[in-house]
């Protein structure tokens, strides 16, 4: 294999690891903020403790996120030097601003974590979360805009190999940016909520009946549902966007070959050698409705796109995984919410709780599938229409060694993170912490 293949795999590996931590890195501060706010408003120490415990686990994921984030930042230039040389002139601004946002977040996160008892007015401590949330959100926005640029480059003119008429703001606010950023943010909030819900559900499943876990589950599932709906709405807009700007990606995702009206939406299935879909579930008019909000709207098919620009057809499965999980989680969290308000007791059964435990991992899987879909779906381009992946890669013959080294590193990091997180909360269960709080209050009262 050549360097370009290994460069692709190494980038994929680093990003797949990073996105786990980046997603919770964006979403969990919002959850901490919510819990902290409810705790302060209701004077409920359960929620305050929730914020505290989430924050403690969050630190570990941030630390690993910083490590993998530094890795990808450097790897971009190490593995794709020609691309960075070219794109550096076009998207340096959002890249630069992303580090500012992250800087800002890092400073205030450090302060928030180490000042739980240092402010006389507890609200002042709470306010420290605002810059953390803002920083996390802004860094997601900036870095996603860079990725969006690679999908729909604009803000420059290429004349005889020279870049002219460069406009950094136009490059940043490219057509793919709004839907991409919105989808990344809503799905990150959704995933983080479900990850935390999984933990609460796990404790309940194991037979712990503490009110703390019930409150935690109710809060996270409700937030999860709200962001499920938001994610789905934005996802619909993303589909419409694809049809207009990257028809080849949408067509490959849907195995849609003939350009036609009344196009059906294909779920699952397998593709034969003659490019026919077998065993798939066809939803008549589905694709036309998705794209044009009109059952007879014409959707471009792959046959009208030169074959060398076809993305790998395998992205269909990734698209299916993402959408199926998304719909499943929406239904599940809605069911939970309704049942909770109506006092239906089936949500207390072991089977249902088991389902709730799976929500976090499933949401994370959907995130991975979604990113793989969007990234593999723009092959063969690294910058759509301007530079192919092969043109952007390094010449260095040593990439495969680095691939192995990083694979080992990430494996250790992932296992280590899991072990540390589990140990951290096992050693110090909620009950003990609440007891300690009570002791403290008693000693004050005396």
Site for other proteins in 118-137 (CB under 8 A): 118, 131
**Alpha carbon distance 180, 163 (integer Å):** 26
| Of 171, 112, 119, 108, residue with least CA distance to 142 | 171
| Of 18, 1, 2, 4, residue with least CA distance to 406 | 18
Residue from the set 282, 348, 350, 423 that interacts with other proteins by CB under 8 A = 423
Number of residues that bind other proteins (CB under 8 A): 78
Residue from the set 42, 116, 127, 312 that interacts with other proteins by CB under 8 A = 116
Binding to other proteins by residue 438, rule CB under 8 A? no
Contact region for other proteins (CB under 8 A) — 272-280, 290-298, 327-335, 422-430? 422-430
| H/E segment holding residue 159 | strand 157-159
22 versus 347: smaller Cβ distance to other proteins: 22
Residue from the set 38, 93, 229, 376 that interacts with other proteins by CB under 8 A = 93
**Alpha carbon distance 167, 441 (integer Å):** 59
Q: How far is the CB of 387 from other proteins (least distance, A)?
A: 13
The dihedrals phi and psi of 281, each to the nearest 5 degrees, come to -100, 120
Binding to other proteins by residue 104, rule CB under 8 A? yes
Contact region for other proteins (CB under 8 A) — 116-124, 212-220, 235-243, 263-271? 116-124
Count of CA atoms in the C-beta half-sphere (13 A) of 422: 7
Query: What is the footprint of other proteins within residues 215-254 (CB under 8 A)?
Result: none
| Of 254, 255, 280, 251, residue with least CA distance to 268 | 280
Residue from the set 47, 54, 58, 86 that interacts with other proteins by CB under 8 A = 86
Pure H helices in 152-302 = 168-172, 177-205, 211-245, 247-254, 286-292
Binding to other proteins by residue 15, rule CB under 8 A? no
Binding to other proteins by residue 113, rule CB under 8 A? yes
Residue from the set 1, 2, 110, 276 that interacts with other proteins by CB under 8 A = 110
Query: What is the footprint of other proteins within residues 155-194 (CB under 8 A)?
Result: 163, 166-169
Can you read off the two tokens belonging to residue 295?
């059952």
Cβ–Cβ under 8 Å, residues 386 and 151: no
> Which residues, 6+ apart, have CB-to-CB distance to 306 below 8 Å?
none
Residue from the set 385, 398, 431, 438 that interacts with other proteins by CB under 8 A = 398
**Alpha carbon distance 253, 235 (integer Å):** 14
304 versus 435: smaller Cβ distance to other proteins: 435
Cβ–Cβ under 8 Å, residues 225 and 218: no
**Alpha carbon distance 247, 259 (integer Å):** 11
Binding to other proteins by residue 71, rule CB under 8 A? yes
| DSSP three-state, residue 393 | coil
276 versus 395: smaller Cβ distance to other proteins: 395
Binding to other proteins by residue 402, rule CB under 8 A? yes
Binding to other proteins by residue 413, rule CB under 8 A? yes
Contact region for other proteins (CB under 8 A) — 191-199, 227-235, 305-313, 420-428? 420-428
Binding to other proteins by residue 208, rule CB under 8 A? no
Binding to other proteins by residue 339, rule CB under 8 A? no
Contact region for other proteins (CB under 8 A) — 175-183, 242-250, 285-293, 389-397? 389-397
Contact region for other proteins (CB under 8 A) — 63-71, 194-202, 265-273, 322-330? 63-71
CA 309 to chain centre: 27
Residue from the set 1, 2, 42, 103 that interacts with other proteins by CB under 8 A = 103
Place of tokens 């606010």: 173
> Which residues, 6+ apart, have CB-to-CB distance to 343 below 8 Å?
none
Can you read off the two tokens belonging to residue 352?
């249902």
93 versus 340: smaller Cβ distance to other proteins: 93
């Amino acid at each position: 294999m050549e360097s370009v293949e290994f460069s692709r795999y190494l980038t994929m590996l680093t990003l797949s690891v990073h996105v786990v931590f980046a997603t919770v890195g964006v979403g969990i501060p919002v959850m901490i903020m919510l819990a902290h706010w409810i705790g302060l408003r209701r004077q409920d120490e359960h929620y305050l403790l929730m914020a505290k415990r989430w924050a403690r686990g969050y630190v570990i994921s941030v630390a690993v996120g910083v490590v993998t984030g530094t890795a990808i930042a450097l790897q971009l230039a190490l593995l794709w030097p020609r691309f960075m040389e070219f794109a550096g002139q076009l998207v340096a601004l959002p890249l630069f601003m992303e580090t500012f946002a992250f800087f800002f977040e890092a400073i205030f996160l450090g302060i928030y974590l180490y000042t739980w008892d240092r402010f006389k007015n507890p609200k002042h401590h709470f306010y420290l979360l605002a810059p953390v949330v803002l920083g996390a959100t802004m860094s997601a926005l900036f870095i996603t805009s860079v990725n969006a640029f690679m999908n729909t480059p604009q803000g420059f003119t290429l004349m005889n190999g020279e870049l002219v008429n460069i406009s950094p703001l136009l490059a940043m606010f490219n057509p793919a940016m709004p839907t991409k950023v919105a989808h990344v943010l809503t799905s990150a909030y959704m995933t983080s909520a479900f990850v935390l819900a999984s933990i609460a559900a796990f404790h309940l499943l194991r037979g712990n009946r503490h009110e703390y876990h019930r409150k935690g589950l109710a809060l996270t599932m409700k937030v999860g549902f709200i962001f499920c709906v938001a994610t789905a709405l934005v996802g619909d807009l993303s589909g419409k966007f694809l049809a207009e700007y990257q028809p080849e990606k949408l067509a490959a995702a849907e195995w849609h070959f003939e350009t036609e009206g009344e196009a059906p939406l294909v779920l699952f299935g397998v593709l034969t050698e003659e490019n026919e879909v077998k065993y798939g579930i066809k939803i008549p008019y589905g694709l036309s409705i998705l794209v044009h909000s009109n059952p007879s709207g014409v959707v471009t098919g792959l046959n009208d796109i030169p074959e060398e620009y076809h993305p790998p057809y395998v992205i269909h499965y990734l698209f299916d995984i993402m959408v199926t999980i998304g719909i499943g989680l929406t239904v599940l969290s809605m069911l939970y919410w309704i049942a909770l308000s109506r006092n239906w007791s089936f949500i207390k059964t072991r089977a249902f709780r088991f389902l709730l435990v799976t929500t976090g991992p499933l949401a994370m899987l959907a995130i991975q599938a979604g990113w793989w879909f969007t990234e593999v779906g723009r092959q063969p381009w690294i910058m759509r229409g301007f530079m192919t992946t092969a043109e952007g890669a390094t010449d260095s013959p040593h990439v495969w060694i680095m691939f192995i080294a990083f694979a080992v590193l990430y494996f250790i990091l992932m296992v280590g993170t899991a072990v540390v997180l589990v140990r951290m909360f096992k050693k110090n269960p909620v009950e003990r912490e609440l007891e300690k709080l009570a002791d403290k209050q008693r000693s004050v009262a005396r």
